[in-house]
Structure 1
Amino acid sequence: MNLKKHYDQLYQESSKVILSNNYAIDYEIKNEQDSRFGITLLLRPDEKTKSAVHLFLNELQKIEPNQYYYPDSDIHITIMSIISCYNGFTLDKINVEEYISIIQKSLIDLNEIKIRFQGVTASASALMLQGFPADESLNILRNNLRGNFKKTNLEQSIDSRYAISTAHATVMRFQEKLQNPTKLIETTEKFRSFDFGEFRAENLELVFNDWYQRTEKTIHLKNFSL
């Protein structure tokens, strides 16, 4: 996949939706009874990169202070949603060690994973950092995971919603009516090509998580050093 072309197309389509007030508000963010949980393999940017991201988020918060902004602790790139979040999923439904074993097997001979956050894009309900892997290591890992999990009878929903191929990180979601969609897009345009920096993933994390990867609702299951 040509990631730049994909991000550009997504932005062009979504910015029109936002400017025409046809964007989607995620009402579940404030739902205290939301019971959608799953397990995810993810990686997180380093502190230097997250500091650069603050430049973008601080500008957005001046315009749209009432939207949902991901705190530093929650910013991540999804490597693979192994069990996509659904209502009623709990950890006692699976044997976590079996999942850890499959992931460890998928990491054999894997090179380091480097990601550059360059610019921002959008969806109909969120703003995201554009992530660009330095090489094919991330894709190789994803394909290893797909192949190895398909050989098992373990519960999993890999690629059931869509085949993940990007390296984006969601940093803001619409949880209320936008106060100024035009100003929001104008500000986003300023960061369309902004270089937030490159980082190397020190480790990967397997977590039990809610839909929004909120730290207070996350159970850390395993770290995998790279």
Structure 2
Amino acid sequence: MINTKTAKQGISVYQMNLKEHYSNLYYTSKEKIIKGLYKTDPLINTDNDTRFGITLVIRPDQQTKNAIQSFLSEIIPLEPHQYYYPNSDIHITLLSVISCYNGFSLDNITIEDYTSIIEEGLNGIRPFKISFKGITASDSCIIVQGFPDDNSLNLIRDQLRSQFKNVSIEQSIDKRYAIQTAHATVIRFRAPLTNTSKLITTLEKYRDHNFGTFTVNSIELVYNDWYQRKKFVKTLKTFNLD
């Protein structure tokens, strides 16, 4: 079992760095959005996108998701043509095991190979909490900031990275980037913005908003499309924490 003292060691520094990371991302992206240098994603409008993969995800609780929807309800009238995540699709990516790519199919892999490795990597991890506080942005989306209350999330990721390094099965962990945050994407730009100034004003209003704190009791391994849309997602296994 993971030692509680060890798990919490350095968490204050981690949270400080996480807050700084989110802040830097916001102000850099804010400038791009104001200048019209943001990116739109036309593929989100189609059901013919064949990019699929498998991902470990964390789902916030209903109360937290409802708080996010309240925020989205203020943005939708300003920017009705953007893509807004429904409650069913809101998630934190714990680890992208196989990043989405064209033509991936579950027929390509043996699911049990992955679930057994993940079970071993989660051994001794107890439930932990994540607080959703404030929003940030990228040049293509709006993001809710997540802050774990201890080092459990980092421990899980590090243990799973080690586990997967020792086996020769398909995986693309950290190939795009080494994920370190606990964020949830909630809006994606899919069309030119029509009310940029009011959008920025509303984002500023929610920069430090408290959306809620929830306990992570389980983690899902899912087969998913690029956007984690419910109609395409298939839960392969739910892992309950000790």
Query: What is the TM-score normalised by the length of structure 2?
Result: 0.92
Name the counterpart of 2:173.
Answer: 158
CA distance in 2, matches of 1:20, 1:111: 45
Query: Is 1:73–2:82 an aligned residue pair?
Result: no
Query: Is 1:28–2:38 an aligned residue pair?
Result: no
From 152, 166, 169, the counterpart of 2:184: 169
Q: CA deviation at 1:51?
A: 1.4
Q: CA deviation at 1:66?
A: 1.3
CA distance in 2, matches of 1:111, 1:225: 9
State the AA in 2 paired with 1:90: S
- 1:175-202 CA-partner distances (Å, limit 9, x unpaired): 1111111111110000000001100012
Query: How many aligned positions are there?
Result: 226
From 27, 31, 56, the counterpart of 1:16: 31
Q: CA deviation at 1:54?
A: 1.6
CA distance in 1, matches of 2:198, 2:31: 13
Q: Secondary structure at the match of 2:81?
A: coil
From 11, 18, 41, the counterpart of 1:3: 18
Measured on the aligned residues, the alpha-carbon RMSD in Å equals 0.7
Q: CA deviation at 1:32?
A: 2.6
Name the counterpart of 2:214.
Answer: 199
State the AA in 2 paired with 1:83: I
Query: What is the TM-score normalised by the length of structure 1?
Result: 0.98
Query: Is 1:134–2:149 an aligned residue pair?
Result: yes
Q: CA deviation at 1:136?
A: 0.2
Query: Is 1:220–2:235 an aligned residue pair?
Result: yes
Name the counterpart of 1:112.
Answer: 127
Q: Secondary structure at the match of 2:125?
A: coil
Name the counterpart of 1:123.
Answer: 138
Q: CA deviation at 1:31?
A: 2.5
- 1:2-56 CA-partner distances (Å, limit 9, x unpaired): 1000000000000000000111001110133210000000010001111111221
CA distance in 1, matches of 2:65, 2:154: 23
Q: Secondary structure at the match of 2:170?
A: coil
Q: Secondary structure at the match of 1:6?
A: helix
- Superposition map of 1:75-114 within 5 A: 75-114=90-129
From 145, 160, 179, the counterpart of 2:160: 145
CA distance in 2, matches of 1:48, 1:71: 13
Query: Is 1:178–2:183 an aligned residue pair?
Result: no
Over 6 Å off, 4+ runs = none
Q: Secondary structure at the match of 2:231?
A: helix
Q: CA deviation at 1:113?
A: 2.4
Q: CA deviation at 1:77?
A: 0.1
- 1:83-117 CA-partner distances (Å, limit 9, x unpaired): 00000000000000010000000011112221000
CA distance in 1, matches of 2:233, 2:73: 25
Q: CA deviation at 1:164?
A: 0.3
